Amino acid sequence: MPDVIVIGAGPAGAVTAALLRRLGYAVEIWERQAFPRHRIGESLPPRAVDLLKHLRFEANGFAVMEGHTSIWGEAEPHRAVFQEGYGLQVQRDRFDQKLVDQSDASVYFGRTALGLVQEDGKVAGVRDKDGEVRARFVVMASGPGKSTRHLRQSAIFGYWKNSRHPEGSQANDTVIESFPDGWVWSLRLADDTRNVTVLFDTAGISYEDAIRQTTFVRRMLDGAELVSRAVGCDASWQCAETFAEPGLLRVGDAGSVIDPLSSQGVYKALCSAMSAAVVINTCLKRPGLERTALDFFNEEERRTYDGYSAGSIATFRQEQRWPDRPFWKTRHELPAFDIRTRAFSQELANAIESGQAMDLCVRNAAGTRVAQKPAISGSLIELEEYLVSPAFEYGYRGAPGDAIRRIHRTLRVPKRVGEILDELAPLQTSMMLRIIAYMYREGLIEPL
Ligand SMILES: Cc1cc2nc3c(=O)[nH]c(=O)nc-3n(C[C@H](O)[C@H](O)[C@H](O)COP(=O)(O)OP(=O)(O)OC[C@H]3O[C@@H](n4cnc5c(N)ncnc54)[C@H](O)[C@@H]3O)c2cc1C
């Protein structure tokens, strides 16, 4: 019997399987399709490339992306060059194959999971057409499913030859261009084909009509030839009710699907895979911490989805040229996630940080407290101390978190900034001033 069955061999499944194999578990991947197979989602931002390197996955042989170009909110193109690292434009058939080849799991292509085996209130295996296979844990990494859709939209994508790519370092940029009824996305792959994807939510819009409404993308396609079918797919936001239950995790798109606008779907899948491996390891090695580990996964994945949704809503609001067109009206009316701006004086924060407010007396803001919360510690989930506040229940931990908690403890009674430094000596003064200023900006401390 395998320890873990992973359903789906996309980035989420392959990476979860690989990390579990490295922890010594027997892992099977069931993939319903034959690989290599096409998948839309080809633009990897620098943070995804960095994470793959960090996790020791090889992903060479793809087009290097040095920035992105957007025509959004105004007619003029705006180019942002990555300050650190580089992104990749990957053909997903080759990319996903590479990841699964590096998983070291037993991979079964053409094997479709048809249902889950339940026993004593937990998932205990997977069913396929030949019967059931038991496992100690199951990972659902099967891509977008039937979860609740929070924003319905569709995409049509096609591949073009002989397009006019931008020149120089801009050549491999991801290009995003809004138009009255949606937005268009385009990128160049290593074989010189160009993907052009249209995002829309109105029935009846044609691929060619949408492209005709653009300027930058239309110009790139002047004289180019569409060499594939234009294929439609669902691109709605989705989020599962729960990401974790006893014996089962939903990882990557199987847990939640974010707007392609962010081009972070693969990165999110990699992060989710990393947490999943640690959570499963904890459930199998420390059964007493199972509930804590599952709660951790649920909270992290929910928070991630909310964070990306908030980011997309903020980006939609930057496009105000067609406020009465249904596509933009729908997006502008999306409930703003709780993006609270904290009231603080930037002048005072600067004074604290530069050491010019040593006599300022500060105290803990009402409601801040130290709480035990689950966190990743090596390959396990452990309970760790976080400083939480009414405005940020998720809390602060980690290396600066240690200093934050110490400052919180010392501020049980109000103190001057200079006194805090004396108490925490020999910690580096400039770093401590930065942390005190940060705590002030985050609303964790307040001046008396
Ligand atoms: C239009 C569009 C553009 C996008 N652009 C980008 C982008 O530029 N950059 C980016 O990072 N992301 C992008 N994404 C998102 C990205 O493609 C996904 O987030 C990513 O593929 C998720 O990986 P995954 O492993 O979770 O799922 P998938 O890659 O979907 O893999 C799931 C696998 O599970 C298999 N499977 C499904 N059901 C079963 C079953 N019952 N049994 C066995 N196997 C099964 C499927 O065959 C599939 O191979 C885009 C998405 C869309 C819709």
Same domain, 16 and 113: yes
Q: What is the mean pLDDT of residues 250-273?
A: 97
The pTM assigned to this predicted structure is 0.92
Tell me how far the alpha carbon of residue 31 lies from the centroid of ligand 1, in angstroms.
12
Amino acid identity, position 93: D
351 contact partners, CB below 8 Å, separation of at least 6: 357, 360
According to the model, what pLDDT value does residue 20 have?
A: 98
Q: Which domain holds residue 429?
A: 346-447
Residues 249 and 385 in one domain: no
From ligand 1's centre to the CA of 148, what distance in Å?
Answer: 17
What are the pLDDT digits (tens) for 22-65?
Answer: 999 999 999 999 999 999 999 999 999 999 999 999 999 999 99
Per-residue pLDDT, 21: 98
Q: Are residues 292 and 405 in the same domain?
A: no
The answer to whether position 371 is within a domain reads yes
Structure tokens at 155: 């995409």
11-23 burial, b if ≥16 CB within 10 A, otherwise e? bbbbbbbbbbbee
Supply the residue whose CA is at minimum distance from atom 35 of ligand 1.
8
Query: What pLDDT was estimated at residue 5?
Result: 98
Closest protein CA for atom 50 of ligand 1: 41
pLDDT at 425: 78
Is 161 contained in some domain? no
Q: What is the mean pLDDT of residues 113-129?
A: 97
Q: Tell me what pLDDT residue 390 has.
A: 86
Cα dihedral 381/272/49/171 (nearest 10): -160
> What's the confidence (pLDDT) of residue 338?
59
Give the Cα separation of 48 and 270 in Å (integer): 8
Mean pLDDT of the chain: 94
Task: State yes or no: pLDDT of 424 exceeds 90.
Answer: no
Q: Which atom of ligand 1 is nearest to the CA of 234?
A: 53
Nearest CA to ligand 1 atom 53: 235
Q: How far apart are CA 322 and CA 335, in angstroms?
A: 19
Instruction: For residue 55, tell me if it sits in a domain.
Output: no
- Number of residues that make up the chain: 448
The pLDDT, as a whole number, for residue 55 is: 97
**Is the predicted pLDDT of residue 197 greater than 90, yes or no?**
yes
Going from the Cα of 12 to the center of ligand 1, the distance in angstroms, rounded, reads 8
Most ligand 1 atoms within 8 A of CB, residue of 40, 100, 233 to mutate: 40
Asked, for residue 77, whether it belongs to a domain, the answer is: no
- Do 301 and 357 fall within a single domain? no
Inform me whether the pLDDT recorded for 392 exceeds 90.
no
Identity of residue 282: T
Mutate to test the pocket of ligand 1, among 197, 253, 257, 274 (most ligand atoms within 8 A of CB): 253
Kindly report which listed range (230-234, 418-422, 426-430, 440-444) carries the lowest average pLDDT score.
Answer: 426-430
User: Where among 305, 325, 360 does a domain terminate?
Assistant: 305
Q: Indicate if the pLDDT at residue 151 is higher than 80.
A: yes
Whole-angstrom distance, CA of residue 430 vs CA of residue 373: 29
Amino acid 147: pLDDT: 81
**361 beta partners:** 416
pLDDT of 339 strictly over 60: no
Residues with CB under 6 A from ligand 1: 7-13, 30-33, 39-44, 112-113, 141-143, 155, 197, 233, 235, 252-254, 260, 263-267, 269
Domain membership of residue 310 (yes or no) is no
- DSSP for 110-169 reads T----EEEEETTEEEEEEETTEEEE-SEEEE---S-SPEEEE--EEEEEEEES--PPPGG
**pLDDT band (50, 70, 90) for residue 340:** low
Q: Residue 446: what pLDDT?
A: 93
397 CA to centre of ligand 1 in angstroms: 32
CA torsion, ordered 395, 398, 404, 405, to nearest 10 deg: 80
Q: Which residue's alpha carbon is nearest to atom 18 within ligand 1?
A: 265
**Residue 425 domain-assigned (yes or no):** yes
Q: pLDDT tens digits, residue range 166-195?
A: 989 999 999 999 999 999 999 999 999 999
CB 441: neighbour CB atoms within 10 A? Answer: 17
Q: What is the pLDDT of residue 283?
A: 98
Amino acid at 40: I
Q: What is the pLDDT of residue 401?
A: 78
Residue 341 has pLDDT above 90, yes or no: no
255 and 378 co-located in one domain = no
Residue nearest to atom 38 of ligand 1 (CA): 142
Residues with Cβ within 8 Å of residue 61, at least 6 apart in sequence = 94, 190
* CA of 8, closest atom in ligand 1: 34
Q: Is the confidence at residue 203, as pLDDT, over 80?
A: no
Helix (H) or strand (E) holding 431: helix 429-441
Tell me the CATH number at 12. 3.50.50.60
**Taking residues 371-387, what's their average pLDDT?**
92
The conformation of residue 23, written as its DSSP 8-state character, comes to: T
Residue-level pLDDT at 163: 96
Say what the pLDDT of residue 179 is: 96
Decide if 396 is inside a domain.
Answer: yes
Distance, CA of 21 to CA of 281 (rounded, Å)? 11
Task: State the total domains in the chain.
Answer: 2
> For residue 59, is it within any domain?
no
Domain CATH for 425 = 3.30.390
**What pLDDT does 391 receive?**
80
Task: Indicate which residue's Cα is closest to atom 19 of ligand 1.
Answer: 265
> 7 and 96: one domain?
yes
Taking only the tens place, the pLDDT of each residue in 211-223 is: 999 999 999 999 9
pLDDT of amino acid 337: 67
**CA distances (Å), origin 190, targets 43, 92, 116, 260:** 12, 12, 40, 21
Task: Give the whole-angstrom CA distance, residue 309 versus residue 395.
Answer: 20
- Tell the residue nearest (CA) to atom 41 of ligand 1: 113
In degrees, to the nearest 5, what angle opens at C-alpha 46 toward C-alphas 269 and 215?
Answer: 100
